[in-house]
Amino acid sequence: MYRAPVEDIAFTLKHVAGMKSALEAGTFGDLGEDLVDAVLGEAGRFATEEVAPLYKIGDEQGAVLKDAAVTTPPGWKELYRRWIDGGWNALSGPEEYGGQALPTMLGVAALEMWNSAAMAFGIGPTLTMGAVEALDKHASRELKAKYLAKLVSGEWMGTMNLTEPQAGSDLNALRARAEPAGDGTYRIFGQKIFITYGEHDFTDNIIHLVLARLPDAPAGTRGISLFLVPKFLVEEDGSLGARNDVFCSGLEHKLGIHASPTCTMIYGDGFQGAKPGAIGWLIGEENKGLACMFTMMNNARLAVGMQGVAVAEAATQKAIAYANERRQGNAADYAGMGMAPIVRHPDVQRNLLTMRALTQIARAISYSCAHAIDRARVAEGEAAANWRDRANLLTPLAKAFSTDVGVEVASLGVQVHGGMGFIEETGAAALYRDARIAPIYEGTNGIQAIDLVSRKLPLGGGEHVHFYIGELKAVTDAVRTSNIEGFGRTAENLDRALADLDEATRFLQGLLANGQTDAALAGATPYLRLISFAAGGAYLAQGGLADRGRIALCRFFAENLLGETHALKECVIKGAESLAAAGKSLIST
Ligand SMILES: Cc1cc2nc3c(=O)[nH]c(=O)nc-3n(C[C@H](O)[C@H](O)[C@H](O)COP(=O)(O)OP(=O)(O)OC[C@H]3O[C@@H](n4cnc5c(N)ncnc54)[C@H](O)[C@@H]3O)c2cc1C
């Protein structure tokens, strides 16, 4: 079973992602390493001892819908209660509303552990935290006063309602309606699909954040507003009032994360004889809802990236344990001792080391993104703008690369288990099933790659990404001049990978400047992997410089996997024409 890798997480936070220098610079006020270690240790204990044991029953029994009410699997409601009683929901919430305002870095590290233990559990609070951030930034004082403290403590949970049957990646097509009621409130009508924890038994009230259109709204995404719609109306004294006109009409049957209810939500259909129209309150300004929702989505994208890291970690642990137990064949260094544990075979070692390296890289990228978010929050002027650019650049990497890694690593985990990996008993298959959703929700990974190329490469007049590449190159130089043994060809190979990245970046920026957007977007997905691989190689090297015990993995990656950047660069630079030609002739009907 999963054991939270607290030391590894603490090391990556401090020595790779920048937490140590941030602590020393006073970025986090009087927060010290002792408290960081204590929080990580306790979060790890809770994930290992309390959440992980309920994974299997969650996967096997799933959430159940009856008469518009959803029941979560046995023990899950009590688990949630213990979790909020431990103050975990409030970890990074605003202090004014009872939160602990701890850094995002610490929040995502804890999130990784909850999700490794059970991704179907980790996804719920992620949405609540996103709702807290959106309300804190955009809601009126009255709404904040009424809802924030209970969302921060976790007494109530939040949801995010964007998707409709005809509006998934493309929110221009959104149809849900909001009509002003004349008393400052609105009546919401429409159907939302795939709403995570849209209905459940964890909390007495559920606070839905819903995108909808006002009657006179402009077409497209400029005409979308954001509304707060509680399941139960809240009285002035904070007690629960009447049931609002919103209900869950269906639960999806899914490939994975079975314990997380994925709901069809109906707004304004006269539930239980109510006068039709779900009562909602505007968040932020009319027609500016998408910008408010983006506050929530950026947070959620990093959080979903953590799910990729989390599943990859859990799958790696499981596979390493199995490979040390399962015996097949002979191995040279096991001669005379009978059948060798499969971990002695080079091909199995390759799989396991690939799993470990990819997991570490995804973790380093995601924590670095969190670090940039934390720095941007306290920095001023130009420094703040630079950190914001960094967070914006790394968000699509954290989301898309990490969740691709989640699937890739979970798949390798099944492979290491052989036939038993395909059998549910070992749990390897369940992780693979869970991992598969993360590249899809919160903006598909294809959309993330488009965002990276079209919106993030131009940041800072196109200079920010080169500034970042320069920082990665400095790590190569540090490896070269360190004279530390064991890095092998790390510096040369990293140099080459960074040159691939530099060339591909300039090529794409040139296409964008010439208005050849389609050609640039054709290379978006390979480019996202290319930049993630090159950055990942540098992060592993940084870890190796700080701790010699980490050099072996860094060298393995540099000498076995990093060469992929060359093929990715070729694809970015030379692949668009053949893609367009074959796309037209072979698959379009
Ligand atoms: C388990 C689960 C939980 C979810 N939870 C929530 C939730 O809580 N709240 C919520 O609002 N939604 C939620 N969703 C919805 C999810 O965010 C969407 O499924 C996702 O955004 C993709 O939309 P779609 O399914 O309509 O796919 P589509 O948009 O139809 O995309 C299909 C494919 O086409 C590609 N594609 C689409 N447009 C473009 C383009 N312009 N350029 C290039 N490629 C493109 C996509 O990358 C994808 O591969 C959830 C979904 C699932 C399955």
Q: Report how far apart, in Å, the C-alpha atoms of 465 and of each of 74, 179, 386, 390, 453 are.
A: 48, 44, 11, 8, 11
Ligand 1 pocket member 160 (CB < 6 A): yes
pLDDT of residue 274: 80
Closest atom of ligand 1 to 443 CA is: 21
Q: Could you write out the DSSP letters of every residue in 24-47? A: HTTTTTT--HHHHHHHHHHHHHHI
**What is the position in ligand 1's atom list of the atom closest to the CA of 447?**
47
544 CA distance to ligand 1 centroid (A)? 38
Q: Tens digits of per-residue pLDDT, 526-564? A: 999 999 999 999 999 999 999 999 999 999 999 999 999
pLDDT < 50 regions, the chain: none
Closest ligand 1 atom to 197 CA: 8
Q: Is the CB of 447 under 6 A from ligand 1?
A: yes
| Res 27: pLDDT | 87
**Six token digits for residue 21:** 């220098």
Determine the distance from the C-alpha atom of residue 71 to the mean position of all C-alpha atoms in its chain, rounded to a whole number. Answer: 26
Cα–Cα distance between 308 and 360 in angstroms, integer?
Answer: 11
Residue with the nearest Cα to atom 42 of ligand 1? 447
- Distance CA(58)–CA(280), nearest Å, equals 33
Going by alpha carbons, the residue nearest to atom 7 of ligand 1 is: 195
pLDDT of residue 297: 76
Q: Do 453 and 521 touch, CB atoms closer than 8 A?
A: yes
Instruction: Please state, in angstroms and rounded to a whole number, the distance separating the CA atoms of residues 393 and 91.
Output: 25
400 Cβ below 6 A of ligand 1: no
The rounded Å distance from CA 440 to ligand 1 centre is 6
Whether 262 is in the pocket of ligand 1, judged by its Cβ within 6 Å, is yes
In 264-401, which residue ranges form alpha helices assigned H by DSSP?
Answer: 289-325, 346-378, 381-396
Could you tell me the distance, in angstroms and rounded to a whole number, from the CA of residue 494 to the centre of ligand 1? 35
Cβ–Cβ under 8 Å, residues 164 and 110:
no
Residue 446 Cβ contacting ligand 1 at under 6 Å: yes
* This prediction's pTM: 0.97
CA of 43 to the centre of ligand 1 (A): 31
Which ranges constitute the DSSP H helices of 66-140?
76-85, 104-117, 119-138
The Cα–Cα gap between 449 and 439 comes to: 11
Q: Is 417 exposed, middle or buried (0-12, 13-18, 19+ CB in 10 A)?
A: buried
Q: Which helix (H) or strand (E) holds 125?
A: helix 119-138
DSSP-assigned letter for residue 340: P
Q: Tell how far the Cα of 304 is from the centroid of ligand 1, in angstroms.
A: 14
The one-character DSSP state at 255 is S
Ligand 1 probe mutation, 251, 436, 444, 454, most atoms within 8 A of CB = 444
Q: Is 379 in the pocket of ligand 1 (CB under 6 A)?
A: no
Query: From ligand 1's centre to the CA of 451, what distance in Å?
Result: 15
Token duo for residue 80: 């949630």
278: β partners: 188
CA separation for the pair 108, 373 (Å, rounded): 11
Residue of 194, 290, 453, 579 to mutate, ligand 1, most atoms within 8 A of C-beta: 194
Classify 193 in phi/psi space as left (phi over 0), alpha (psi -120 to 50) or beta. beta
Nearest CA to ligand 1 atom 4: 194
Spatial contact of 193 and 133, defined as CB atoms under 8 Å apart: no
From the CA of 196, give the closest atom in ligand 1. 8
The answer to whether the CB of 72 falls within 8 A of the CB of 258 is: no
Active-site residue set: 442
Place of tokens 């990974």: 445
The H-or-E segment that residue 236 falls in is none
300 in helix, strand or coil? helix
Task: State how far the Cα of 52 lies from the Cα of 121, in Å rounded to an integer.
Answer: 10
Q: CB of 163 closer than 6 A to ligand 1?
A: yes
User: Quick one: how far is CA 564 from the chain centroid?
Assistant: 24
Would you state the torsion angle of the CA atoms of residues 90, 94, 95, 97, taken in this order, to the nearest 10 degrees? Answer: -80
Contacting residues for 381 by C-beta, under 8 A, at least 6 apart: none
Quote the DSSP letter at residue 535.
H
Please indicate whether residue 440, judged by its CB atom, sits closer than 6 Å to ligand 1.
Answer: yes
Write the DSSP symbol of residue 15. Answer: I
Q: Are 213 and 221 in contact (CB under 8 A)?
A: no
Q: Which contacts qualify for 73-76: CB closer than 8 Å, 24 or more apart?
A: 73/259, 76/121, 76/202, 76/259
Q: Which two tokens stand for residue 307?
A: 């799910």
